[in-house]
Amino acid sequence: MFDEVWHLHHYFGTIAFLIGFVIMLWCIISFAVKGRGTLSPMDPTKKLVISGLYKFSRNPMYVGVILILIGEVIFLQSVELGIYSLFVFVAFNIFTMLVEEPRLRKDFGEEYKRYCEDVRRWI
């Protein structure tokens, strides 16, 4: 594949992938630095992260992952990967609503409630 000429969809796919990767990396760093924790349930953030990308989306890390997948879909022009990406997005929605949000409400109380009122779940 690397000996082939790149077409427009390769560039668009690469750009979407890289944007998603940067978003995801930024969020992981924010969890460590601002939230004083990790992605792991064994070491969750000790402080609610509501700055940076989290001012625009309550779940920018998931947005980043979906952008990575969309970039791959565009780059590879894969219907199957597109369907998989849709299932991943649905799974993120279910997990976010049934597991993450209740835990965050429990851990951060009124601060998280106000945050939810001010910031949308996705974008």
pLDDT for res 77? 98
Q: Give domain status of residue 1, yes or no.
A: no
Q: What is the pTM of this model?
A: 0.91
Residue 108: inside a domain:
yes
Rounded to whole angstroms, how far apart are CA atoms 104 and 82? 30
Whether 93 is in a domain gets the answer: yes
Q: Is residue 2 part of a domain?
A: no
| Domain that includes residue 81, residue range | 8-118
Alpha-carbon gap, residue 89 to 57, rounded angstroms: 15
Query: 112 lies in a domain?
Result: yes
Each residue's pLDDT expressed in tens, for the chain with a length of 123 residues: 566 899 999 999 999 999 999 999 999 999 899 998 887 877 888 999 999 999 999 999 999 999 999 999 999 999 999 999 999 999 999 999 999 999 999 999 999 999 999 999 999
Question: What is the model's pLDDT at position 41?
Answer: 74
| Helix H or strand E segment including 17 | helix 8-33
Count of domains forming the chain: 1
